[in-house]
Amino acid sequence: MICSEDARTDWTRDELRDLFELPFTELLFRAAETHRAHHAPGEVQLCTLLSIKTGGCPEDCGYCSQSASANSGLKAEKLMDVDAVLAAAAEAKAAGSQRFCMGAAWREPKDRDMAAVCDMVAGVKAMGLETCMTLGMLTGDQARALKTAGLDYYNHNIDTSPEHYGNIITTRTFQERLDTLAEVRDAGMAVCCGGIVGMGESREDRVGFLHSLATLPRHPESVPVNALVPVKGTVLGDMLAGDRLIDDSEYVRTVAVARITMPMSMVRLSAGRESMSEATQALCFMAGANSIFTGDKLLTTANAGDSKDAALLAKLGMRPMTAAEPMRALERVE
């Protein structure tokens, strides 16, 4: 088994384009081969999300219900109490979740919030769950404080290709995203980084998006592939309302190319799974996806729910991953 340091980071855009253009069944076959070489193919990691600070975000991400510039009707809330977060984590653990991911609608955390956020990390970690947070941009000091508190993963997405990025977000740059990812790496945490498809981007943008991830100095340990959840009142939700956002087969292709180019990473079916058929989700698992968000809610939008997921996994004969594999990914970082 190779480890992520040995995985190729010199992919060219031409190579990724060629992968996308393979006949669908050939692409799937190659992705499944790669998956089986590095992961237990019948296992799926279960992660739970919690919005620890909802709404009122100063950024203008065109897809997001939590942006203050959107008219999504979402009420801005304060940072949750540590005890309430720990109660939600205990519930997630009881439902079989393995990773607990806490998200805040911030451009970046304020230093005055760091103590509470670090207490949340330490408390969740003490329950034996893997910890993940997504709080926006981080300074080096903040990244190190989170690491010291016990944070395993930091989620910070590049969202799309460098070329399409400016059509979606204007309040921070692609380069600023990369800078935060470098701080997370330097602090010794594992990186969770992916993006969204179905935002009106071209195939070439999907190539550019995955190429940016697969040529990072080190691949993200987790790669969430979100399909846009169109939210009324957001720029993209209103603009793309009624459109077919992305063809199912193109979503599966994106998952397959992520799997082939980042063989060791966990590839996560993230937002948008609720509106996907069971057959499409099964194709995604075949194409190398090995992680999902469970529970009734993502951050602010609906998710499939634990019982639906349990039924799907049982139907497909797949089992929830034990802590072993992601923990091995963490050992490779340390």
Ramachandran area for residue 110 (φ above 0: left; ψ -120 to 50: alpha; else beta): beta
Rama region for 242: left / alpha / beta (φ>0; ψ in -120 to 50; rest): left
Residue 301 sits in the site that holds ligand DTB (CB under 6 A): yes
Q: Does residue 57 belong to the site contacting ligand SF4 (CB under 6 A)?
A: yes
Q: Is 192 a catalytic residue?
A: yes
d(CA 195, CA 209): 8
Query: Which residues, listed in sequence order, are joined to residue 267 by a DSSP beta bridge?
Result: 223
Which DSSP string corresponds to 150-201? T--EEE---BS-HHHHHHH--SS-HHHHHHHHHHHHHTTPEEE--EEE-SS-
Choose from ligand SAM, ligand DTB, ligand SF4, none: what does 159 bind? Cβ within 5-8 Å by kind. ligand SAM
3 is catalytic: no
Q: How many CA atoms lie within 13 A of 305 on its CB side?
A: 5
Q: Would you call 47 a catalytic residue per the annotation?
A: no
Residues between 120 and 179 that touch ligand SF4 (CB under 6 A): 136
Q: Is 276 in the site for ligand DTB (CB under 6 A)?
A: no
What are the CA-CA distances from residue 223 to residues 76, 115, 214, 233 (Å)? Answer: 28, 28, 10, 28
Q: Does 66 bind ligand SF4 (CB under 6 A)?
A: yes
The answer to the question of residue 134 lying near ligand DTB (CB under 6 A) is yes
**Residue 287 near ligand DTB by CB under 6 A:** no
Residue 177: both structure tokens together? 């995203």
Per CB under 6 A, the list member of 67, 131, 226, 261 interacting with ligand DTB is: 226
With vertex at residue 254, the alpha carbon angle to CA 250 and CA 257, rounded to the nearest 5 degrees, is 130
Nearer to ligand SAM, 134 or 265 (CB): 134
Using CB under 6 A, list all residues that contact ligand SAM: 57, 63-64, 103, 105-106, 134, 136, 156-157, 159, 195-196, 226, 228-229, 231, 271, 299
- Binding-site size for ligand DTB (CB under 6 A) equals 17
- Tell me how long the chain is: 334
Q: Pick the catalytic residue from 30, 47, 57, 253.
A: 57
Binding site for ligand DTB (CB under 6 A): 49, 65, 101, 103, 134, 155, 157, 194, 224, 226, 229, 270-271, 298-301
Active-site positions read 57, 61, 64, 101, 132, 192, 268
